[in-house]
Structure 1
């Protein structure tokens, strides 16, 4: 085997560590509104928040979403609930703080994230988004808001 092949294999093996469907971990980083880093069994693990998509950092409310997440969970132990799905070496999961609060849902409620319908058929997230839209809060206060996925498509060829 070539060295590059071995390194790639090791990277993928390390990135997709085996994790239970539910576990606790300490938040050691907030990459953006919908991506965090936790320390699980003394190893860093990237978590992509399930069901949602936050605005990109250069979009309106992108930095607010990141700051909101950091304020709520950075440095805290959180409960991670997942279905064993990975995407781009990130575990897709819901994150609970203060025992019962779901950061994924809270971001949608506050208008700091959209329901990511391409990857989620959840009625709960759909309904939370509809309420935020009606109240015109966060991203829904913008007259012509662009979805994060549309923004990425047009800005990252």
Structure 2
């Protein structure tokens, strides 16, 4: 699913992103709810990046006013009966436009994905895609910053303990 919005994104660079678990649902510019392997996952694009809601738990990757920017490259956390594994990387692809266009095309073709395009550039997007994995659920996200040629990728996997 692809959605174009009129709201400019609030975060302006990858270095300002932080990771938070358990925040209440924040105001979203675009949402897409999917059910995968018994899990209901709500993919949410925020003005300051993304949030994924799974039951009464959430993962938020965003520019948050009370947290310093700096995504961990990897992290593991136990949440109830589940293990959450998070990974992130930021890069400057040699062909930024081609890389982002490829992400957009793949997510547009995926019924369990959401792409939100921000004004100013068709490459200013936040994309999320969910899938079933090993008795659990996973999602990947992409945050594209065309003004800096940066692409942030995250992947989270939630499986039973």
Shorter-chain TM-score above 0.5:
no
Which of 1 and 2 has higher RCO (CA within 8 Å, sep 6+)?
2
With the length of structure 2 as denominator, give the TM-score of the two structures: 0.23
With the length of structure 1 as denominator, give the TM-score of the two structures: 0.24
**Which is richer in strand?**
2
| Greater gyration radius | 1
